[in-house]
Amino acid sequence: MEAGGTHSHFKTHFYEKRIKVTEPELRKFAETVAAGGLPCLLRHVTLVAPLYDPEYLQCDADDKAMEIAGLNAVNVEDVQDAQLDCMLAEIKGLEDDQAAQLEMRDRGLDIALLGEAFGSLARHEVTLHSVTTEVKVHKGDVSRARHPLDQACKPTFPTAAYLSRLIFRVLGSHEVPIRALHLFNTEAMQDCCVPVDWLKDVDFSRSSTAWQTLSSLSLSLSNKLINRYVGAEGVLGHGWLLDHRLPTRPYEELLAESKDAKNFTGLVRLLECCESLTSLELSRVSLGLTTNAISHAQDAGILHAVDQVKMSNLTSLKLQGFHTSPDQMLGLLRRHRSLQHLSLCIFSILHGKLQPILDYCMKETQITSMHLDTIFEPSFVHFAASWATCTKEGREARWRRDATTF
């Protein structure tokens, strides 16, 4: 009985694993699965990339020092205060962890250790039911991590893009079957999105076991980050990183860059590799300062990428945060006639109405259920019937073919 209870405990313990992407935790993960046995009961892996933000706490420490010194200009290290000393110790801890993280990446230990772990999983013939990615923000006490949502910190998308590239590289190099891949597509991971054009630098291969076996893909994408200003070099984040004194690039040039087909080739290659895909969820997040026309052009490019790939096994599609025309949406639906479930959330219909899309879904497709939440055309679409939920004042609706009609 005791042995059975112990085995049950370890089975539960090893079934799901959260791994912080640091050298100590990756090394421990690699060593654990290398031995085989109970660790190979692992089915669900969540990789958590830490984002250390000592600058946030440094600002608080500077303000605290000035308050103690009577608003006089002062070096924070010269002020004697127990609370301030604690803050400085936390800043030092964040800076040390940040430096260790950068050193790990520079030495390639992240890809080496995670690759070693996945190599062991492949050797022991483990099939992962899901791989999930997250970013956690460390702004104060290094032992406390926070979700990026509503955190006033440096932009999180570079860390998200780093983790995406890391997991893409590992999955492409090791023969581990995976059923579901979830990349930041949750409410708590808002702004932890991958700029769509960054995918073009990933080497997706049809021969990868992970892509061949993947049946569910959930991905949060942003627009390409476009420099609006002449001389604004490097990766731009949110508006506060821009120098508005710089001259603006011509609008036509910005629009052409946003429409460039090369921005979306990586997404096309990824979807082409996932030959067994039955469920696809794409969320669109806007980063940086941009006009509606430029943003909508990127939406059109992403949806065109989905439309380009014939996913004959796709039965479920969820799109969130997109702007599109009825013609483009109808074209996408005609391309994927195997769809049975459709979900549109925070979705804007440009130059037309939602009704033609609904009519087509009900009359000419195999779709058996739809979920609609916060639809614009351009104002809110208000649903009013027995199928409309009452919690969002008619802004959300669910439809089932065997239950009711619009």
Burial-class residue 222 by CB neighbours within 10 Å (0-12, 13-18, 19+).
buried
The pLDDT of residue 98 is above 70: yes
Q: Minimum mean pLDDT among 138-152, 193-207, 362-376: which range?
A: 138-152
In single-letter form, the type of residue at position 118 comes to F
The pLDDT of residue 155 is above 90: no
* pLDDT bucket at 39, cuts 50 / 70 / 90: confident
Largest CA distance in the chain: 75
What are the tens digits of pLDDT across the range 348-364? 999 899 999 999 999 99
Report DSSP state, residue 388. B
pTM metric for this prediction: 0.85
Q: Domains (ranges, CATH) in the chain?
A: 16-66+88-230+245-401 (3.80.10)
What are the tens digits of pLDDT across the range 310-353? 999 999 999 999 999 999 999 999 999 999 999 999 999 998 99
pLDDT score recorded for residue 406: 47
The pLDDT of residue 250 is above 70: yes
Report DSSP state, residue 262. G
pLDDT score recorded for residue 71: 47
The pLDDT of residue 9 is above 70: no
Q: Are 170 and 205 in contact (CB under 8 A)?
A: no
What are the tens digits of pLDDT across the range 267-297? 999 999 999 999 999 999 887 667 888 889 9
The pLDDT of residue 403 is above 50: yes
Give, rounded to a whole angstrom, the gap between the first and last alpha carbons of the chain.
Answer: 57
Rounded to the nearest angstrom, the gap between the alpha carbon of residue 206 and the centroid of all alpha carbons in its chain is 22
Query: What percentage of the chain reaches a pLDDT higher than 90?
Result: 52
What is the phi/psi pair of residue 383, to 5°?
Answer: -95, 140
What are the tens digits of pLDDT across the range 385-398? 655 655 566 788 88
- Helix axes 109-123 and 82-107, enclosed angle (nearest 10): 60
The pLDDT of residue 68 is above 90: no
pLDDT score recorded for residue 371: 94
